[in-house]
Amino acid sequence: MNRMPAAVEMNVAEGPEAEGARRATGASGPSATLRATTPDPEVPTKVQRRQFTAAYRLRILKEADACTKHGARDTKHGALGALLRREGLYSSHLVNWRRQRDQGELIAGRARKRGPTPKPIDPRVKQLESDNRRLQRKLARAETIISLQKKLPRSWGSP
């Protein structure tokens, strides 16, 4: 069990190499302040999707239709690629928005509802359901009357 001489032993928490060493408080040396200033690298759990208004979509489609050259950057109306880069859009956005414009979905107040389309209910099914409810009410009344008829003679005292 060789021990180092006392002059050579060094407290790890005090030396220059102790930058990453832990202290009793749980914070490390000078690198703790550096970590506090760096942004959090965690990815948010739920990313918020971009939502474009109908007016914005129509404006972008108008500008895209005005583009004469698709590849050049310095044309009179601006290039389609430059427009997409400037707005941060994809060409698939334009395809979908043109389809929506042609179907009349970009008119204010006529947005298509999301989710599955409801199945139309057959009128015969509606009629049968209303008949079922009516007959259930009638049955409940009849059962009440029958139970009262059974209890009534006992309350009169007749055998």
Domain regions of the chain by residue span: 54-103, 121-152
Q: Please report the pLDDT score of residue 28 as a whole number.
A: 53
Place of tokens 């179907």: 103
CB neighbourhood size of 101 (10 A)? 15
Q: What is the pTM of this model?
A: 0.42
Note whether 136 and 128 are within 8 A (CB). no
Q: What is the pLDDT along the chain (159 residues), one digit of tens a residue?
A: 555 555 555 555 555 555 555 555 555 555 555 555 677 777 777 878 888 888 899 999 999 988 866 555 555 545 788 899 999 999 999 999 999 898 888 776 666 677 888 888 888 999 999 999 999 999 999 999 999 888 876 666 655
Res 156: pLDDT: 67
Whole-number pLDDT of residue 150: 84
Q: How far is residue 106's CA from residue 97's CA, in Å, rounded to a whole number?
A: 8
pLDDT at 41: 79
Per-residue model confidence (pLDDT) at position 42: 79
Alpha-carbon span 83 to 81, nearest angstrom: 5
The pLDDT assigned to 140 comes to 97
pLDDT at 14: 52
- pLDDT for 85 equals 92
CA–CA dist 123, 15 (Å, integer): 87
